[in-house]
Structure 1
Amino acid sequence: MRHALVLATGNAHKLKEIRAILSSLPVDVLAPTDVLTRPPTVVEDGATFADNAAKKAVALARATMMLTVGDDSGLEVDALDGAPGVRSARYAHSRATDGENNAALLAALAPFADEPGELRARFRCVLALVDPLVSLEPHLVSGVCEGMILTSPRGAAGFGYDPIFLVDGHDKTMAELTDDEKNAVSHRGRAAAALRDTLERALAAREASARGIG
């Protein structure tokens, strides 16, 4: 029995990654627009990734009454005291492209270009799972991928800051990894792995309910 899971994001890249990461589970990962003509607009004004992921998941779960996952993620750079952080998608400005955000980050890091230790960074992802048939209280998990920022981009795959993020343990940026390689080491892949047991239990409970068991 397959189940629908709505991912609370308008980011097609995130949707593609989550679909691939969860492909071994009996779930069809849907975009909000697949189930709602006008999905709720959520202002991502939380102080943390967890705040924003939970806010998105709860809003969409209320609107759909479907199993929902909220995703919030971004880049934390040590030299910038954790910035861009929750503003990663709009670091340059509110409607910034990936290229503009990358350029803004490299400009901010220019004073540290000769100090590689200051270019340590990590991608962080928080996933919030909500099953509105049980509770609107989100179950939160997180994943982290450590690395460092390069002063010039490498690779043509990926999105966001992937071309300037060198993954620890690899002589490749995120944008140079294959999809499978990236999903195995990425912050989103690790967060999804941490969510897997809870998600499997939620799916089993829904299947039992549908069959009138328990």
Structure 2
Amino acid sequence: MTAPAWLSQGTLVLASNNKGKIAEFEKLFAELNLPVDVIPQGQLNIEDAIEDGLSFVENAIIKARHASKISGKPSIADDSGICVPALGGAPGIYSARYAGAHGNDAANNEKLLADLLPLRKDGTVIEGMFVCVLALVQHAEDPLPQIFQGIWQGEILDAPRGENGFGYDPLFWLPELGISSAEMSKEEKNKISHRGQAMQLFKASLER
């Protein structure tokens, strides 16, 4: 098997400035034991890209190309969020800025709860899913980005539970486990989460 060309470059830029995501990715990449240094783009003074795509895939590619163009290195980007079918898939790609300001987890959670309140009748279960799309580009103009997608099915609680994680984790209920995503350790979450699933596919691509 021939190793991917980007592995020989010594560095892979992680196109994110989200502290929660970076912390999860650092654990996930450490488990892969890659022969490259994975560097968050903030260490290279790369600001966030303008995410003007209409899908997780588009935005992941936009972010990866942006980081790769500025750094001159291969880059991997994550675009992720929570989708609620009862709301037509919202918050979707707007998950991080659902309530307006980018990255205000408390406000985003409050808005999601408020939007779902009219739909909660007689203990109706509100289904939801966390989605993660990873895009890997060898260089900024790579015509064939590699895409790895993970989907984590669950339900949306009517009140936050748990202190771990970030984003919508306190509202994401896992009925088969009887806990919320925010009640899991990082290790437990990484094994089954949307991000963990996408990373497993990434890992599998290295082994082909």
Above 0.5 in TM-score?
A: yes
The corresponding residue for 1:129 is 136
Shift of 1:183: 0.3
**Structure 1 residues 84 and 70, CA gap change in structure 2 (3 angstroms):** same
1:168–1:69 CA distance, 2 compared to 1 (3 A): farther
- The alignment partner of 1:23 has SS state of helix
Q: How big is the shift at 1:136? A: 5.1
Q: Secondary structure at the match of 1:151?
A: coil
1:77 corresponds to which residue? 84
The residue that corresponds to 1:63 in the other structure is 70
Deviations 1:115-145 (CA, angstroms, capped at 9, x unpaired): 5555100000000011129935311110010
Structure 2: gaps spanning 5 or more residues: 1-7
Q: Which runs of 5 or more residues in structure 1 are unaligned?
A: 202-214
- For the 8 Å contact 2:68–2:74, the answer to whether it is kept is yes
In the alignment, which residue of structure 1 is the partner of 2:40?
A: 31
The residue correspondences of 1:141-180 to structure 2 (distance < 5 A) are: 141-180=148-187
Q: 1:44 to 1:199 in 2, by over 3 A?
A: farther
Post-superposition offset of 1:40: 5.0
CA distance in 1 between partners of 2:96 and 2:111 (Å): 12
Per-residue CA shift, 1:43-74, capped at 9, x if unaligned?
A: 11110000000011011112212221011000
Is the 1:158–1:174 Cα contact (8 Å) retained in structure 2?
yes
Give the structure-2-normalised TM-score: 0.88
Output the TM-score relative to the length of structure 1: 0.86
Distance 1:156 1:115 in 2: 28
- Quick check: 1:2–1:28 contact (8 Å CA) kept in 2? no
Q: Contact 2:16–2:42 (CA<8 Å) still a contact in 1?
A: no
What's the RMSD between the two structures over aligned residues? 2.1
Worse-superposed segment, 126-135 or 41-50: 126-135
